[in-house]
Structure formats: structure tokens, C-alpha cells
């Protein structure tokens, strides 16, 4: 894959994931009482609802800032592992209801792979 194509795909993912997480975080923070109740029903502390909502919002913004992309993606990846786990184990409807979380998790992994730093003297394999 050429560097140009790799960069284009990465930017498309960054924008789509950034908008997705900004929207998700904003919705959690906008209706915080419902979010806290949902977390409480899952056996999670209400404070975690604030942390996740804020992290999703800030992480979504971070995906759009080139210097912060990898850090934001790593943080959001951790959140999405938790979301997929909760869908698989505690949320009614199981993993089928967690498809957006699973897709976001996979796409964050792809973005991290696309944005991995290249050290001088090494080349990426072209396919």
C-alpha cells in the first residue's frame, strides 16, 4: 500500500471515528442522569459515566488532531474493549447489540496500525 493511500485511508478513519466519538460522548454528557442510571444498572459506579462520556468526547476531538491521534486512539481502544465486554456479558441483547462498539474497536485498531511511526532506515512492505 502506498504511503499516500495509507494516509488517505487513515484520515478518512480519523474523521469518521472522530465524529462518531464526539457524538457518542456528547450524548452521554447531554443526558447524564440516564447515562449514570445505565452505568448503575450494569453494576458500574456513576462516576465512570462521567469519565467515559468525557473521554469519548475528548478522544473524538483528539482523533482529529494529528499530534494526538495515536494517543486518542489508544485511549478510546481501551474504552471500546470495555464496551464490547459489557455488551458480551451484561447488556441485554448481548454482543449483537454491541456491533457499533465492536466495529469501532476494530477500526481504532486499523487506525493505530495505519498511523504507526516509521523509524528511519526501515521500510514498509508494499502490497
User: Where do the structural domains in the chain lie, given as residue ranges?
Assistant: 3-114
Distance from the Cα of residue 61 to its chain's centroid: 11
| Residues 104 and 77: beta-carbon distance below 8 Å | no
Q: What is the pLDDT of residues 71-127, one digit of tens each?
A: 999 999 999 999 999 999 988 887 888 899 999 999 999 999 999 987 766 555 554
**pLDDT value of position 127:** 47
Contacts of 93 (CB under 8 A, 6+ apart): 87
Q: How many CB atoms lie within 10 A of CB 37?
A: 13
pTM (predicted TM-score): 0.88
Q: How far apart are CA 71 and CA 69, in angstroms?
A: 6
Mean pLDDT lowest for which of 13-27, 62-76, 108-122? 108-122
Amino acid at each position: 500500500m502506498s504511503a499516500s493511500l495509507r494516509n488517505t485511508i487513515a484520515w478518512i478513519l480519523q474523521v469518521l471515528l472522530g465524529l462518531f466519538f464526539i457524538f457518542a460522548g456528547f450524548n452521554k454528557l447531554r443526558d447524564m442522569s440516564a447515562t449514570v442510571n445505565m452505568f448503575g444498572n450494569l453494576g458500574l459506579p456513576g462516576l465512570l459515566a462521567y469519565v467515559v462520556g468525557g473521554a469519548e468526547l475528548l478522544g473524538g476531538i483528539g482523533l482529529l488532531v494529528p499530534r494526538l491521534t495515536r494517543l486518542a486512539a489508544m485511549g478510546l481502544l481501551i474504552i471500546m474493549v470495555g464496551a464490547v465486554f459489557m455488551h458480551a456479558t451484561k447488556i441485554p441483547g448481548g454482543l449483537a447489540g454491541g456491533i457499533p462498539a465492536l466495529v469501532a474497536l476494530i477500526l481504532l485498531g486499523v487506525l493505530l496500525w495505519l498511523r504507526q511511526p516509521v523509524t528511519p532506515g526501515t521500510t514498509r512492505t508494499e502490497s
